[in-house]
């Protein structure tokens, strides 16, 4: 069920991504080609006239880059082939991770002939099918009340488990669809140094969301091991006579659901966030710089206050001596009056 729904969503999102890519490239097509051509001419003219010193090798490399940008950002076929190559590679890695626990191989997956490893969605369906069979066998010996209660609880947990896994997969594909749709604009932004950072952020986001299926497959490999271990510890499910014996399986499914929710944290930990680090360093550096300037300004003010001004000091001394003499005269006059 998960595989069917996921494949349908992916097909729809691929069509949407192609339409968005075509719309954006059509809107920017003439502008992008003119800009790339104009910049290539400027690079060649600058290399010939040496207005800004540049090596011919660097100029040729820049021209090739601009020509590729002009051709690539409008060609959905080329862009899609590159993107699909990356996505297929990552899905193969994910399938290999799943194969570590289910014994699958590129030639044989779930008893059927296959060209590659089983996908996450396909293996998830196989797992849910085996869990459903286990639930049916275990519920037969739980009585009229215990059997339906266990089946209802198990069905709810499996639905929650499947929904979380499918939501993570679909969310990553939706994000990739949006990023693919704005690809022409981001490719154009790579032409200029002051906008190249936006292209790098876009590329980093593409890689991050493309890595989701791989991390989910790695987590899913652990999940398969946990659930198989919990089921094997119970032995034959037809010999189960109470709900208490099924607690390990229920706990394993709940734990696996929690493991799936940790996937975004794992992806962030693996890919990192270079730009957040840059911003943090910039903020820390700016704060240190401000504190340094404040310290310098405060020190200068303190030094200014402690510098001795001879004229001011002489005036203050003269005034202090006059005030002191006035106080002495006042005391002397009071003493004379007492006599």
Diameter over CA atoms, the chain? 130
**Whether 87 contacts 75, CB under 8 Å:** no
Q: Enumerate the H helices of the chain as residue ranges.
A: 2-49, 56-72, 76-102, 120-139, 143-181, 183-189, 196-210, 212-234, 247-261, 263-271, 274-306, 310-338
Within a domain: 320: no
Within a domain: 315: no
At 321-332, the pLDDT tens digits run: 777 677 777 777
At 38-68, the pLDDT tens digits run: 777 777 777 777 777 777 777 777 777 777 7
In this model, does residue 201 exceed pLDDT 80?
Answer: yes
Which among 3, 12, 231, 255 has a CA at the least distance from the CA of 114?
3
Within a domain: 174: yes
Within a domain: 276: yes
Spell out the residues 6+ positions from residue 33 whose beta carbon is closer than 8 angstroms to its own. 70, 74
At 236-295, the pLDDT tens digits run: 766 676 777 777 778 878 887 887 788 778 777 777 654 444 444 445 445 545 555 565
Half-sphere exposure of 214 (CA within 13 A, CB side): 18
At 220-245, the pLDDT tens digits run: 777 777 777 777 777 676 667 677 77
pTM score: 0.59
Bridge partners (DSSP) listed for residue 113: 108
Which residue range is the domain that position 220 belongs to?
Answer: 1-106+114-285
Within a domain: 147: yes
Q: How many domains does the chain have?
A: 1
Q: Would you state the structure tokens that stand for residue 199, as one six-digit string?
A: 């292209």
Locus of tokens 């069920």: 1
Within a domain: 259: yes
């Amino acid at each position: 069920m998960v595989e069917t729904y996921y494949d349908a969503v992916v097909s729809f999102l691929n069509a949407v991504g192609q339409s968005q890519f075509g719309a954006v490239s059509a809107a920017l097509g003439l502008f992008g080609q003119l800009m790339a051509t104009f910049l290539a001419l400027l690079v060649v003219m600058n290399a010939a006239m040496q207005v800004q010193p540049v090596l011919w090798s660097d100029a040729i490399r820049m021209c090739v880059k601009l020509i590729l940008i002009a051709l690539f950002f409008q060609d959905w076929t080329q862009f899609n082939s590159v993107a699909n190559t990356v996505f297929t590679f990552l899905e193969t890695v994910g399938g290999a991770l799943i194969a570590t626990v289910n014994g699958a191989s590129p030639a044989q997956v779930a008893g059927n002939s296959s060209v590659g490893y089983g996908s996450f969605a396909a293996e998830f369906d196989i797992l849910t099918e085996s869990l459903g069979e286990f639930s049916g066998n275990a519920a037969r010996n739980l009585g009229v009340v215990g059997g339906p209660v266990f089946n209802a609880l198990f069905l709810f947990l499996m639905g929650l488990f499947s929904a979380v896994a499918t939501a993570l997969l679909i969310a990553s594909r939706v994000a990739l669809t949006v990023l693919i749709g704005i690809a022409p604009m981001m490719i154009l932004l790579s032409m200029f140094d002051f906008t190249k950072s936006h292209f790098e952020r876009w590329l980093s986001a593409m890689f991050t969301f493309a890595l989701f299926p791989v991390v989910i497959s790695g987590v899913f490999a652990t999940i398969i091991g946990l659930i198989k271990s919990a089921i094997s510890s119970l032995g034959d499910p037809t010999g189960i006579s109470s709900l208490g014996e099924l607690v390990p399986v229920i706990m394993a499914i709940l734990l696996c659901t929690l493991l799936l929710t940790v996937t975004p944290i794992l992806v962030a930990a693996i890919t990192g966030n270079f730009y957040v680090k840059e911003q943090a360093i910039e903020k820390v550096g700016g704060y240190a710089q401000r504190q340094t300037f404040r310290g310098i300004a405060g020190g200068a003010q303190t030094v200014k206050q402690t510098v001795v001004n001879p004229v001011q000091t002489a005036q203050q001394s003269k005034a202090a001596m006059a005030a002191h003499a006035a106080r002495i005269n006042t005391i002397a006059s009071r003493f004379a009056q007492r006599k």
